[in-house]
Amino acid sequence: MKTPVALTEEFTPYLTPIFDRKAKSITAIDVRTMTSYADMIVIVEGGSGRQVTSIAEHIIKAMKTKKIKVYGMEGIKEGEWALLDYGHIIIHVFESKAKALYDLEGLWSDAPRIDLSRFGSIIDPEDDQADEDDNY
């Protein structure tokens, strides 16, 4: 695996709301040298269609409060795959099966990953257990 690229401050407002939710996984990919339509692609995995919708709606609301408008959005209500286009950053929020099917990380395997360690761990194992307990 390549050494992760440092996160620049311009992307922090877009990533912070993603980490507010309990995503299963989050990958940020630096595509500046590989494409002209974006600088970063973020791939977020939600555990269910409801969670995909919730994460996408939360990102949109958080960006609105910062006066950042989404240029385009698709699939939010369906909950399988939501796409949020903010111009220089594209955020994909996938349900687990759709994420595996489309394998965007594999598609962009040559692109450097962005170090997201400043946000801490994605999922607290104890929170994961609490969620399982809530289902019974």
Whole-model pTM: value is: 0.84
The pLDDT of residue 119: 83
55 close to 18: Cβ distance less than 8 angstroms: yes
Residue 10 pLDDT > 50: yes
| CA-derived radius of gyration, the chain | 15
Please tell me whether residue 133 adopts helix, strand or coil conformation.
helix
d(CA 89, CA 39): 6
Using alpha carbons only, give the angle 10, 44, 94 rounded to the nearest 5 degrees: 140
In this prediction, residue 1 has a pLDDT band, given cuts at 50, 70 and 90, of low
Neighbours of 18 (CB within 10 A): 22
Beta carbons within 8 Å of 18's beta carbon, 6+ residues apart? 26, 42, 44, 55, 59, 91
Where are the chain's structural domains? 9-130
Judge residue 86's burial from the number of C-beta atoms within 10 Å of its C-beta, 0-12 exposed, 13-18 middle, 19 or more buried.
Answer: buried
Q: Quote the pLDDT of residue 20.
A: 87
Euclidean distance between CA atoms 126 and 131, whole angstroms: 9
For 15-71, how does the pLDDT look when each residue is reduced to its tens digit (9 = 90+)? 999 998 889 999 999 999 999 999 999 999 999 999 999 999 999 999 999 999 999
Q: What percent of the chain has pLDDT over 90?
A: 71
Please give the CATH number for the structural domain made up of 9-130: 3.30.460.10
Q: In the predicted model, is pLDDT for residue 120 greater than 80?
A: no
- Look-up of token digits 């929170």: 127
pLDDT tier, 121 (very low <50, low <70, confident <90, very high otherwise): low
CB atoms within 10 A of CB 34: 13
What confidence tier does 128 reach under pLDDT thresholds 50, 70, 90? very low
**Mean pLDDT score of the chain:** 86
Say what the pLDDT of residue 68 is. Answer: 94
